[in-house]
Chain A
Amino acid sequence: MKDEALKVINDVLSKGRKALVEYEAKQVLKAYELPVPDEKLAKTLDEALEYAKELGYPVVLKLMSPQILHKSDAKIIALNIKNEEELKKKWEEIHENAKKYRPDAEILGVLVAPMLKPGREVIIGVTEDPQFGHAIMFGLGGIFVEILKDVTFRIIPIEEKDAWAMIKSIKGYPILAGARGEPPADMKALVDMMLKVSKLVDDLKDYIKEMDLNPVFVYNEGEGAVVVDARIILK
């Protein structure tokens, strides 16, 4: 677990970088058995076409560049690509957009990912406090976190009861518990993720400064959850 994650982290550090791109961050998460989509990094268009075929359309393309951390601002994500033709077109488009946004952008490759079915969005994050050390954050995603700041924190390491208390303490909890006839979300999967994040950060506390798993899609009870996008900042 730790060794695999450290390999990714040391690799990034050796290149003089502090921020892991999504692909690298997800490798670290994967090392701790956090659920990430089945996705691959394509270096060439041919590789991308091959991976898309393996996954089956529709797919998503996300361009990976250490200089561009706000992917949607730079328009380097292409969603819901239905066939090869479209993939070729979008491949060109996101590369052009990257160049426009940051002419000096180094491109590590393009992440070819399955088009995920939408779930309820949550955010799991980590920050480091100068007095108390690392803390984990949980909240509902989207406007709930952006505008209402409906989030809660605990100091790492957390225990299972802490994770449950966090989920239940946010104002938006009824959305997860199942409001207006909706079935409940898979909160057990979220608790499991939070505990894994806690362990990951506890193991790697000398390296990790901040972390966002945002968004995480959580599906109905028994159907799990998945990290859609991730960012890790090193010390």
Chain B
Amino acid sequence: MEMPKIVEELKPFFEPKAVAIIGATNKKGKVGNVIFENFKRNKEQGIFKGNIYPVNPKLDEIEGYKVYKSVKELPDDTDLAVISIPAPFVPATMKDIAEKGIKAVIIITGGFGELGEEGKRLEREIYEIAKANGIRVIGPNCVGVYVPDTGVDTVFLPEEKMDRPKSGPIAFVSQSGAFAAAMLDWAALAGIGIGKMVSYGNKIDVDDADLMDYFIYDDQIKVVTFYIEGVKDGRKFIEAAKRITKVKPVIALKSGRTEYGAKAASSHTGSLAGADVIYDAVFKQTGIIRAEDFEHMFDVAKAFAKCKLPKGDRIGIITDGGGAGVMASDAVAKFGLKMAQLSEETLKFLKENFPPHAVAGNPTDVVGDTDAQRYKIAIEGFVNDPNVDAILVIVLFQVPLLNEMEIIEILSEYAKKSEKPIVAVAMGGKKTEYYAKLLEEKGVPVYPTPERGVRALAGLVQYAKYLKKIEGE
């Protein structure tokens, strides 16, 4: 596969040989200090393999690191600059960066276009320098980049206040820095693996479309999630989205669902077209899955990260509690999926192997006195049934005869060997949460309610349908 230019251009942001931290300082809590500490820590732990060059005209060294007085003095292997100096000084620094030949710049500093005309003017100046010198810019007004595998971490929220998630197959792109930071912290707690995070703030240069094109060729990334406030170049976004959704799923959370333009429109159609319906249209046409909220976004992302794609929309439900099964069935209808009609063979197989009081059907209820082996029979039946496209297994770990580790093994084994996606639902408290985490670590996505489990499956089905549709062309 021939790599497009964008892959080369963005590579230094994610795996730099040497990073210049412009505005690095030894004052604790300052942005330039937190970013320096992040790189230093990751270097000490052997995660960040590149060189670290703090830049600050007033200092000679920070914690044993030589400080460079200016960009001009930087060693020639510098291929990424992270800027956290005040906005008015950024254009001059950009000129030095251009002269030095550094081609990737993250501008963390705020106080640009979001504040008004003067800020916008500064942005234009920076953009023009970048454009003329082939420099790619992330930001300004952002938290930048987080890559757990290479140790790039420009998130200026200190580690003691914000946990960092482990690595994984999910890319997370956020316009908002605050949301990005909060989500990383939450993902760390939820055990969700983030392979790459980019927060681009005012995005004067690198935008969603560039990142989508990059992630096409990033083998680590299996699913891309976006938090979007607004798109600047709509056509570029559409084209890039169409390219990436051919090979990887994309989930977007779009905020700002308010209507605009309704008053100004002179046609009926114009009065009905708010920003939101247009985004809906764009997402539908490009195969992007639209998330209702951040839970939805990561629920679906988790399913993509761990599951195979279903062949159709017929859902099979296995449960050890009747009520949870009914809730799941309701959710199947709510999210436009179908309840699978089990084949005669499957029903026969289940009845033959079940005690008389367990219910063979869809949902199949293994009931409250179940052990792990009864679950295994049910899963075996569903996996082999050609009428079932995806399987939701509700495990109430609380039932007395169920060996938790045994059911976890069974689920993870079937999730691995079956061609069908299998997701689990575990409702409960602290103990359930403990086992749910173990199950997830074994490769099965687990959801806290039947509705969220089914909604995640609906995301898989939606994307599988989109792929089928474009393959038909």
The residue that B281 contacts in the complex, of A69, A123, A154, A212, with Cβ under 8 A, is: A154
Tell me the residues in window 27-86 of chain A with beta carbons closer than 8 Å to chain B beta carbons. Answer: 69
B residues in contact with A110, CB < 8 Å? none
Contact-residue bracket for chain B: 20 to 34
**Can you name the residue of chain A whose Cβ is closest to the Cβ of B267?**
A210
Per-position binary interface string of chain A over residues 128-165, scored 1 when its CB falls under 8 Å from any chain B CB and 0 otherwise: 01011101010100000100010111110010011001
Q: Are A212 and B267 in contact (CB under 8 A)?
A: yes
In-complex Cβ contact of A127 among B234, B237, B270 (8 A): B270
A132 touching B238, Cβ below 8 Å = yes
Give the secondary structure class of A's interface.
strand
**A125 nearest in chain B by CB position:** B269
Chain A neighbourhood of B273, CB < 8 A: 127, 129, 135, 137, 153
A185 beta carbon closer than 8 Å to chain B: no
CB distance from A131 to the nearest CB of B (A): 4
Asked if A214 lies at the interface with its beta carbon under 8 angstroms from chain B, I say yes
Contact B231 A132 (CB under 8 A): yes
Asked whether A13 is an interface residue with its Cβ less than 8 Å from the other chain, the reply is no
> Which of A69, A149, A165 is within 8 Å of B272, CB to CB?
A149
**Does A6 have its Cβ within 8 Å of any Cβ on chain B?**
no
- Determine if A231 is an interface residue (Cβ-Cβ < 8 Å): yes
CB pair B267–A165 under 8 Å, yes or no, is no
Given A127-B265, A210-B266, A211-B267, are A137 and B272 also a contact pair (CB < 8 Å)?
yes
Does B267 contact A231, Cβ atoms closer than 8 Å? yes
* Residues on the A chain within 8 Å of B277, using CB: 151-153
Please measure, in the bound complex, the distance between the C-alpha atom of A127 and the C-alpha atom of B270, giving whole angstroms.
Answer: 5
- Residues on B with beta carbons closer than 8 Å to the beta carbon of A132: 231, 234-235, 237-238, 278, 281-282
With A155-B285, A161-B469: A131-B234 Cβ-Cβ less than 8 Å: yes
Q: Is the CB of B234 within 8 A of A133?
A: yes
Query: Residue of A at shortest CB range from B469?
Result: A161
Is B230 on the interface with A (CB-CB < 8 A)?
yes
* Inter-chain contact A212/B269, CB cutoff 8 Å: yes
Interface flag for B232 (CB, 8 Å): yes
Can you name 27 A-B residue pairings with CB atoms under 8 Å? A69-B266, A125-B267, A125-B272, A127-B265, A129-B275, A131-B230, A131-B231, A131-B237, A132-B234, A132-B237, A132-B278, A132-B282, A133-B235, A137-B269, A139-B272, A151-B272, A151-B277, A153-B281, A154-B285, A155-B234, A155-B281, A161-B469, A210-B269, A210-B270, A211-B267, A211-B269, A233-B267
A residues near B (Cβ < 8 Å) are 19, 69, 123, 125-127, 129, 131-133, 135, 137, 139, 145, 149, 151-155, 158, 161-162, 165, 210-212, 214, 231, 233
**Nearest 10 interchain pairs by C-beta:** A125-B269, A132-B234, A210-B267, A131-B234, A153-B281, A127-B273, A127-B270, A129-B278, A210-B270, A127-B269
